[in-house]
Structure 1
Amino acid sequence: MLDRLQQEWKEGTNRFDQAGEILLLAIQNQQVVGVCGLNRDPYTDDDRVGRVRRLYVSVDSRRRGIGRLLVTEIQNHCQGVFDQLRLRTDTPEADAFYRCLGFRRVKGDPECTHLREICQ
């Protein structure tokens, strides 16, 4: 996932620089231990739909609240910009993680497994 993030950045295909987009880093002891991005969702024509992208926390830093902090900051950032956040994941652990953060499971959409309505 990090390789893809770096490749997209170098190629200029995703720099998290559109209106409302952001790329967050979690840094501990001068080391990047987590990353999470927010894009406009490329799988919908609705400009009010954001997409959580590239959430990753280093193995040694997991289960310490870093992922929760990153996604919470993404949700805070999207206030007034996006009405909805979507994402796609395929592991039971990620499913439980996102549901714990208020996302609901989506069925039948090949581009979205989880969704969260953003209260304005």
Structure 2
Amino acid sequence: MSTYKIVPIENLSDVDIDSLLKESREEGFHYLERLKLDYIQGTNTFNKTGECLYGVFNEKKELIAIGGLNINPLTNDKTNGRLRRFYVSRNYRRKGVGGLLLKEIITVAKCYYKILVLYTDTTQAGAFYLKFGFICENKYPNSTHFLKL
């Protein structure tokens, strides 16, 4: 198994996300474009207490996955976190990369939140989250899954 390194991203501008962004766009996902734009505009920099952004890098130090945690902006409940901008490169899916990243984000979320929510519109991603204990139910605003922490 290859060696993967999970790294907190303190400044997205210092990370080359272009190849991951291009790949995600080709798959019809535009949320990494939103990640970059929000970061540049300062509307979401994952820097509030309880928030984080992580990247997973391969042995060549290429970004192969990314995911973040925010205070859920769709509720006034500050004990509610939201998984955001989670993407794993096609070539690294089903190799444990997504699970490593998700476990790291859940570990951080447990320190700040009681509930972690997310939204996905793909069956494959939905099945992935179920494996990690998420419940498929739109109990929270604009979410498809939640996890009691």
Which TM bucket (shorter chain)? Answer: over 0.9
Residue in structure 2 matched with residue 61 of structure 1 by the alignment: 92
Alpha-carbon separation, structure 2, partners of 1:108 and 1:27: 34
Please state if 1:79 is matched with 2:121: no
RMSD: 1.2
Could you tell me the percent identity over the aligned residues? 38
Residue in structure 2 matched with residue 89 of structure 1 by the alignment: 120
Residue in structure 1 matched with residue 17 of structure 2 by the alignment: none
User: Residue 110 of structure 2 aligns to a residue in which SS?
Assistant: coil
Match of 1:15 among 41, 45, 55: 45
Structure 1 residues 42-68: Cα deviation after superposition (integer angstroms, max 9, x where no partner): 111110100000100111111111111
Residue in structure 2 matched with residue 103 of structure 1 by the alignment: 134
Task: Report how far residue 78 of structure 1 moved.
Answer: 1.5
- Identify the structure with the greater strand proportion: 1
Task: Report how far residue 108 of structure 1 moved.
Answer: 6.3
After the TM superposition, which segments of 4 or more aligned residues of structure 1 sit over 2 Å from their partners?
Answer: 107-110
- C-alpha contact (below 8 Å) 2:116/2:146 kept by paired residues: yes
Q: Unpaired runs of 5+ in structure 2?
A: 1-30
Q: TM-score, normalised by structure 2?
A: 0.76
Q: TM-score, normalised by structure 1?
A: 0.93
Task: Report how far residue 91 of structure 1 moved.
Answer: 0.7
Residue in structure 1 matched with residue 146 of structure 2 by the alignment: 115
Q: Unpaired runs of 5+ in structure 1?
A: none
- Identify the structure with the greater helix proportion: 2
Task: Report how far residue 79 of structure 1 moved.
Answer: 2.0
